[in-house]
């Protein structure tokens, strides 16, 4: 039974007597806290006696509570403070609570930085992290060159496994997203274009948008969310389980062993998935066009006459680069995993964010480049 | 009796993180075929010393000589060649989670030799038999008990028949019987195959049971505070820390 403690105050000309009855644990102390402190604050008697005869349980919280009653009483001008009828078994705790006076965390509390210092530290952290990221990119590039020079050293079994997981297994989700993008875009475009009797030109829009821009971009974003995070989680867990250390002391280079197969697999798989995505997106558009009453052959002819090989090649080159970016960002973030229970979660998040940011930046660079190249 | 050959030599080693040394000016030698233990309380730098000895952490200054070659100065291929001559079993086992026990042991053989697959299988079987895991070859690391994981890690460390094996806290998290079994295995491998073992531990029972020689590190001194056989250190009354460690006491040792 857990009744909350009670207290009774009695006063005479010499001082006040407070009797506490019941359990003094954290819950009990908190229930009495407000009432007792108020009572003491209102007294101006020279003596205060605390009768603990009826306290049947006392723990560190209760002892701290009593320490604070005494402290408060002293600040209110109480000259003499007594604890009476304390049970023998509780006295060590009351003694322990007296050591609170010596509490001093001053040289343990972490140094607090000012706003400016904090921003400066963040900036310097970002710089050193970027430097580390670039170093890893260099190391990976070197390992890739070495591996391509000696293809026998590439772990092909792992490469194919990653290609299957990141490529074949991603077909349904890539199909779903591309189909819906193609369908919705065609539908949205068809409504205003109908006013000009130009519904068929929706085909031009879908063709050029999917092949040049949306196919590569959608595929890259799906892969960043799906595979980059998986790479970061796999490699991050290996880091935490000391498996990467184990590889290193076996004389095996973890970059060649873990990162190179993933980068090769994703670099090959991204353009293939993009071609698939282009096709499915165009099919989505076809559904809208045929439902508007045009034969599918006119849709096909419209796209075939408008979209050039240049557009197709431009899209493919772009997603080739996206593949490298997604794989490296996932692997590097995994490789940088620190220790602790949330470390892998942090790494996967950073992998996806880094991947998407890099995709956006490089997509912009490609757009400008293609504009000047006249593609 | 001819003098024993030095197999590892540590010279004036300062090691730590971010250029702040945790251990300072450490020098010692490990002789061929002995079971050498690095002991000390928590936070004394045992693991840091081990990481330096196996090349996972570069020393701040000083040298780690393994089999006459300087591991701390070596990089790239040269370093990998030295590392292939040693084996390491980590505290957690660090088995590759996506591979069976068999594949874990076979991995380095596959990477560094061009033996036919069936021969590699035979070698793996021998290693697994040595550690008593021949019946667990096709289990995944997740299906192994704590003791089995450590045995599997030991088998993997032995894959290339190294002359030195490093063990990080082999008894951590094991019950006394399993732990004693592992000790017995280490002693047997040391005497039958002549493997040198360097073991980081603070398990008194293991120290007593199998070590030939010990160095003891201490957090405040940041260096080696005692060297010798277990019997010598146990009866060493000159340093209260050493005395307390071996006698599980917390008061000052008396002369």
Give the pLDDT confidence score for residue B254 in this predicted structure: 43
Question: pLDDT per residue over B65-80, tens digit each?
Answer: 999 999 988 888 889 8
| End-to-end Cα distance, chain B | 35
**Nearest residue to B54 via CA among A246, A244, A242, A249:** A249
Label residue B2 exposed, middle or buried (CB < 10 Å: 0-12, 13-18, 19+).
exposed
Average pLDDT over residues A206-227: 94
For this complex, say whether ipTM is above 0.90: no
CB < 8 Å to B96, chain A: 238, 243, 246
A156 touches chain B (CB under 8 A): no
| CB atoms near residue B133 (< 10 Å) | 21
Q: Give the HSE-up count for residue B139: Cα atoms under 13 Å, Cβ half-sphere.
A: 14
B234/B247 Cα distance (integer angstroms): 7
Q: Are strands B196-201 and B164-168 parallel, antiparallel or unpaired?
A: parallel
Collapsing DSSP to helix, strand or coil, A11 comes out as strand
Question: Which one of B90, B107, B112 has the shortest CB-CB distance to A245?
Answer: B90
A77/B59 Cα distance (integer angstroms): 62
B202/B215 Cα distance (integer angstroms): 11
Give the pLDDT confidence score for residue B3 in this predicted structure: 62
**Cβ distance B211 to B197 under 8 Å?**
no
Per the document, the length of chain B is 255
**Nearest residue to A85 via CA among A19, A11, A24:** A19
* SS3 track for B179-194: HHHHHHHHHHHHHHHC
**Cβ distance B106 to B159 under 8 Å?**
yes
CA distance B229 to chain A (A): 29
Give the pLDDT confidence score for residue A162 in this predicted structure: 94
Residues contacting residue B156 through CB under 8 Å, at least 6 positions apart: A246, B87, B89, B95, B104, B105, B107, B108, B127
Question: pLDDT per residue over A275-294, tens digit each?
Answer: 999 999 999 999 999 998 99
Q: What mean pLDDT is reported for chain B? A: 88
Question: pLDDT per residue over B194-228, tens digit each?
Answer: 899 999 988 888 888 889 999 999 888 888 988 98
Q: Nearest chain B Cα to A143, which residue?
A: B76
Give the pLDDT confidence score for residue B243 in this predicted structure: 84
Which of A145-164 are b and which e, b meaning 16 or more Cβ less than 10 Å from the residue's Cβ? eebeeeeeebbeebbeebbe
A193/A72 Cα distance (integer angstroms): 80
Question: Which one of B83, B92, B97 has the shortest CB-CB distance to A250?
Answer: B83
Average pLDDT over residues B28-46: 90
CB < 8 Å to A250, chain B: 83-84, 88, 107-108, 111
Collapsing DSSP to helix, strand or coil, A115 comes out as helix
pTM attached to this predicted model: 0.79
CA angle A154, A155, A158 (to 5 degrees): 140
What is residue A76's DSSP assignment?
Answer: T
**Cβ distance A58 to A90 under 8 Å?**
yes
**Nearest residue to A73 via CA among A26, A40, A108, A32:** A40
Which of B25-51 are b and which e, b meaning 16 or more Cβ less than 10 Å from the residue's Cβ? ebebebeebbbbbbbbeeebbbbbbbb
Residues contacting residue A281 through CB under 8 Å, at least 6 positions apart: A178, A179, A181, A182, A206, A210, A214, A215, A218
Q: Nearest chain A Cα to B159, which residue?
A: A250
| End-to-end Cα distance, chain A | 82
User: Does the pLDDT value for residue B251 go beyond 70?
Assistant: no
Percentage of chain A lying above the pLDDT 70 cut: 99
User: Does the pLDDT value for residue B253 go beyond 50?
Assistant: no
Lowest mean pLDDT among B54-58, B93-97, B150-154, B172-176: B172-176
User: Does the pLDDT value for residue A161 go beyond 60?
Assistant: yes
Q: For testing the chain B interface, which of A162, A243, A258 should be mutated: the one with the most B CBs within 10 Å?
A: A243
What is residue B163's DSSP assignment?
Answer: S
Give the pLDDT confidence score for residue B255 in this predicted structure: 39
Residues 65-104 of B with CB under 8 A from A: 79-84, 86, 88, 90-92, 94-97
| More confident site: B95 or A112 | B95
Q: Which residues pair with B214 in a beta bridge?
A: B37, B228
User: Does the pLDDT value for residue A373 go beyond 80?
Assistant: yes
Q: How confident is the model at residue B13 (pLDDT cuts 50, 70, 90)?
A: very high
User: Does the pLDDT value for residue A243 go beyond 80?
Assistant: yes
Give the pLDDT confidence score for residue B146 in this predicted structure: 87
Average pLDDT over residues A18-45: 87
Task: Name the CA radius of gyration of chain B, rounded.
Answer: 18
Q: How confident is the model at residue A2 (pLDDT cuts 50, 70, 90)?
A: low
Question: pLDDT per residue over B49-63, tens digit each?
Answer: 999 999 999 999 999
| CB atoms near residue A7 (< 10 Å) | 16
Question: pLDDT per residue over A339-361, tens digit each?
Answer: 888 999 999 999 999 999 999 99
User: Does the pLDDT value for residue B252 go beyond 70?
Assistant: no
Q: Which residues pair with A17 in a beta bridge?
A: A10, A49
Collapsing DSSP to helix, strand or coil, B40 comes out as strand
A316/B121 Cα distance (integer angstroms): 44
Contact at CB, A249 and B88, closer than 8 angstroms: yes
Collapsing DSSP to helix, strand or coil, B249 comes out as coil
Q: Nearest chain B Cα to A246, which residue?
A: B94
User: Does the pLDDT value for residue B189 go beyond 90?
Assistant: no
Contact at CB, B97 and A245, closer than 8 angstroms: no
- State the DSSP H helix or E strand holding residue B51, giving kind and residue range, or none if neither: helix B46-53
**DSSP letter for each residue of B203-223:** -HHHHHHH-SEEEEEETTTTE
Give the pLDDT confidence score for residue B170 in this predicted structure: 87
Question: Which one of B56, B95, B112 has the shortest CB-CB distance to A245?
Answer: B56
**Backbone φ, ψ for residue B133 (5° rounding):** -120, 20
């Amino acid at each position: 039974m857990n009744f909350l403690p009670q207290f009774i105050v009695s006063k005479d000309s010499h001082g006040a007597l407070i009797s506490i009855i019941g359990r003094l644990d954290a819950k009990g102390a908190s229930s009495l806290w407000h009432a007792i402190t108020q009572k003491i604050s209102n007294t101006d008697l020279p003596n205060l006696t605390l009768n603990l005869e009826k306290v049947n349980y006392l723990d560190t919280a209760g002892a701290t509570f009593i320490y604070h009653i005494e402290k408060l009483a002293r600040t209110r001008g109480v000259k003499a403070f007594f604890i009476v009828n304390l049970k023998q078994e509780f006295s060590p705790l009351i003694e322990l609570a007296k050591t609170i006076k010596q509490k001093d965390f001053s040289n343990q509390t972490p140094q607090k930085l000012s706003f400016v210092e904090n921003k400066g530290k963040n900036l310097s952290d970002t710089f050193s992290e970027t430097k580390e990221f670039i170093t890893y990119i260099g190391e990976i590039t070197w390992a890739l060159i070495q591996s391509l020079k000696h293809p026998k050293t590439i772990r092909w079994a792992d490469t194919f496994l990653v290609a299957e997981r990141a490529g074949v297994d991603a077909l349904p989700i890539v199909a779903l997203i591309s189909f819906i993008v193609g369908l919705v875009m065609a539908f949205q475009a068809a409504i205003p274009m109908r006013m000009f009797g130009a519904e068929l030109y929706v085909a031009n829009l879908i063709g050029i948008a999917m092949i040049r821009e949306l196919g590569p971009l959608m595929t890259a974003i799906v892969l960043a969310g799906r595979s980059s995070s998986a790479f970061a989680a796999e490699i991050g867990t290996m880091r935490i389980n000391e498996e990467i250390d184990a590889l290193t002391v076996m004389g095996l280079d973890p970059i060649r062993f873990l990162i190179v197969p993933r980068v090769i697999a994703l670099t090959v798989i991204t353009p293939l998935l993009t071609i698939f995505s282009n096709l499915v997106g165009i099919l989505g558009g076809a559904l809208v066009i045929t439902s508007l009453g045009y034969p599918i052959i006119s849709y096909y002819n419209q796209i075939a006459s408008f979209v050039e090989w240049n557009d197709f090649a431009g899209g493919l080159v772009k997603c080739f680069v996206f593949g490298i970016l997604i794989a490296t960002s996932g692997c590097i973030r995994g490789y940088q995993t620190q220790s602790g229970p949330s470390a892998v979660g942090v790494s996967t998040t950073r992998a996806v964010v880094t991947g998407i940011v890099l995709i956006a930046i490089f997509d912009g660079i490609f757009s400008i480049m293609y504009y000047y190249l006249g593609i | 009796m001819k003098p024993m050959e030095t197999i590892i030599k540590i010279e004036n080693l300062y090691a730590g993180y971010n250029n702040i040394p945790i251990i300072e000016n450490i020098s010692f030698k490990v002789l061929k075929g002995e079971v050498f233990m690095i002991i000390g309380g928590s936070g004394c730098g045992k693991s840091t010393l081990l990481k330096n000895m196996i090349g996972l952490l570069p020393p701040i200054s000083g040298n780690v000589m393994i089999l006459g070659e300087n591991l701390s100065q070596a990089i790239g291929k040269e370093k990998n060649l030295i590392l292939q001559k040693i084996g390491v079993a980590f505290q957690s086992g660090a088995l590759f989670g996506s591979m069976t026990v068999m594949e874990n042991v076979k991995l380095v053989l596959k990477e560094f030799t061009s033996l036919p697959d069936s021969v590699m299988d035979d070698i793996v079987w021998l290693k697994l038999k040595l550690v008593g895991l021949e019946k667990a070859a096709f289990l995944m690391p997740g299906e192994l008990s704590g003791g089995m994981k450590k045995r599997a890690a030991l088998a993997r460390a032995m894959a290339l028949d190294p002359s030195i094996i490093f063990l990080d806290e082999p008894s951590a998290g094991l019950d006394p019987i399993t732990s004693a079994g592992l000790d017995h295995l280490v002693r047997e491998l040391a005497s039958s195959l002549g493997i040198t073992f360097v073991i980081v531990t603070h398990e008194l029972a293991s120290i007593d049971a199998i070590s030939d020689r010990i160095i003891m590190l201490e957090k405040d001194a940041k260096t080696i505070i005692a060297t010798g056989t277990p019997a010598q250190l146990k009866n060493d009354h000159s340093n209260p820390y050493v005395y307390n460690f071996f006698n599980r006491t917390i008061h000052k040792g008396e002369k």
